[in-house]
């Protein structure tokens, strides 16, 4: 008997930015797949490449050229394995999304656009927690609704960056959530009804944030997992 829900569909994940986020995306794909047996799951190939240059630094130094080259080369390697759709588990990398997609023959899932659809339908303002590179690139801005998104004040944005790089170091203690809570309170006081986790490092602590502060978070990595499972099932 044939049980597979997603036969002959293969997802390629480019991770390593930081290393846990790509692994987390694969785990989330498993969790969102309505499987009864092993054969119901989706084929996934995750390539963790920790040698891709820091995206925020690259955008500052060379307008993203160095990370663009490294990501394109990495995705081309994944393409050779017969991938049906690719995804990059890094939000900031999407600042050069069109150039990356144009270098490929395989569709590349745009995680930023998935998240922006949720911003659009939000019944109020959405606070953005993201890297300096993502914020400076205005990835989550809605041109026709600039008031819909709110970024932290500079002193709070510095804390966001510190937290992101602490998570990259493997730090996941209570201080991470404590610091993020202060920023969330700041954004809520600015009128935000939702908070977008605009960095995949923050997706790693999504559950802890939700348990502390409630179901107010939009997580692009979880949206990506859901979208990929839906594509596979079609």
Concatenated DSSP letters of 160-178: HHHHHHHHHTT--SHHHHH
User: Any catalytic annotation for residue 90?
Assistant: yes
Residue 93: DSSP 8-state: G
| Active-site residue identified among 90, 130, 223, 229 | 90
The conformational region for residue 8 under phi > 0 = left, psi -120 to 50 = alpha, else beta, is: left
CA distance 28 to 30: 5
Active site residue 6: no
Kindly give, in sequence order, each residue whose CB lies less than 8 Å from that of residue 222, ignoring residues fewer than 6 positions away. 28, 203, 206
**Alpha helices of 94-173 — where are they, by DSSP H?**
97-102, 111-121, 132-136, 154-168
Q: Which of 59, 184, 199, 228 is labelled catalytic? A: 199
Burial of residue 75 (number of CB atoms within 10 Å: 0-12, 13-18, 19+): buried
Radius of gyration (C-alpha) of the chain in whole angstroms? 18
Q: Which residue has the tokens 């990259």?
A: 168
Identify the CA nearest to 154 among candidates 179, 135, 177.
Answer: 135
Please give the backbone phi and psi of residue 192, each rounded to the nearest 5 degrees, phi first: -80, 130
Known catalytic residues? 90, 199
């Amino acid at each position: 008997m044939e049980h597979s829900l997603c036969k002959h569909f293969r997802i390629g994940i480019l991770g390593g930015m930081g290393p846990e986020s790509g692994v987390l995306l694969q785990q989330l794909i498993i969790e969102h797949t309505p499987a009864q047996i092993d054969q119901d799951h989706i084929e996934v190939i995750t390539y963790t490449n920790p040698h891709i240059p820091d995206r925020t630094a690259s955008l500052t130094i060379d307008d993203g050229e160095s990370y663009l080259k490294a990501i394109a080369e990495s995705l081309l390697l994944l393409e050779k394995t017969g991938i049906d759709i690719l995804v990059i588990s890094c939000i900031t990398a999407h600042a050069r999304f069109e150039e990356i997609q144009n270098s490929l023959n395989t569709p590349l899932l745009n995680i930023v656009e998935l998240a922006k659809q949720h911003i659009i339908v939000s019944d109020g303002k959405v606070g953005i927690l993201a890297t300096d590179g993502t914020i400076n690139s205005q990835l989550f801005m809605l041109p026709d609704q600039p008031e819909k998104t709110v970024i932290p004040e500079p002193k709070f944005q510095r804390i966001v960056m510190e937290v992101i790089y602490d998570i990259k170091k493997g730090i996941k203690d209570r201080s991470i959530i404590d610091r993020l809570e202060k920023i969330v309170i700041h954004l809520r006081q600015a009128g935000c009804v939702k908070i977008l986790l605009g960095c995949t490092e923050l997706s790693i602590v999504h559950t802890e944030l939700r348990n502390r502060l409630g179901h107010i978070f939009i997580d692009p990595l979880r949206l990506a997992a859901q979208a990929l499972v839906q594509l596979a099932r079609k």
